[in-house]
Structure 1
Amino acid sequence: MVAAYEEHAKVFKAFCDEKRLRILGLLRGGEKCACVLLEQLDLGQSGLSYHMKILVESGIVESRQEGKWTHYKISEKGSANACALLKKLTTPDLVREEGNCCER
């Protein structure tokens, strides 16, 4: 179960930085080359690589190599998984747990 929480945390880590949110906003318009992202963001190559690594590891963004450049796009499957995960984690269980300390 701990491994599942570690994987869940990767998804939410992808959303908890304003630069990564800005990257996702740019990728909403379709696939972008890293060179285009660098032009539109106030980041150096290493900064972009750091943020893209987090986004790709979360599954929300996909990457592909073309020559020396990497191209990125939002993953439909990763986006759906992130939505489902948020819903799962925030939907109350209908089954009441036994032994709740407040129910004596």
Structure 2
Amino acid sequence: MVSRFSGGGPKVPYPKHVWSPAGGWYAQPANWKRNTAVIGAVMAGVVAVIWKISAEKEVRYVMPQEGRFFPSRYWSKQLIEYDREQAARKAKDTTQAEAVQNS
């Protein structure tokens, strides 16, 4: 007797042929590459928007130590301004020290 439930072997009643809207067990739609590219682009866009909003809202109460690697220094507006102020202050201090030394 042949049963329609003989896909998983004699003891496991799995159907041989499975239909689903996604295409079954081993689906390979004709346009899977385009679908993958589209969803990848959408996901990258969503991540970029969330990243931008997060960077704009980021607030630090304690600034990172000078010279240490801190990734958000590259995109956090507050840290970029802080680093510019520190560089300007350091340049001003060195020029004053040179002026005192030369006089």
TM-score category of the 2 structures, normalised to the smaller one:
under 0.3
| Structure with the higher strand share, 1 or 2 | 1
Q: TM-score, normalised by structure 2?
A: 0.27
Q: TM-score, normalised by structure 1?
A: 0.26
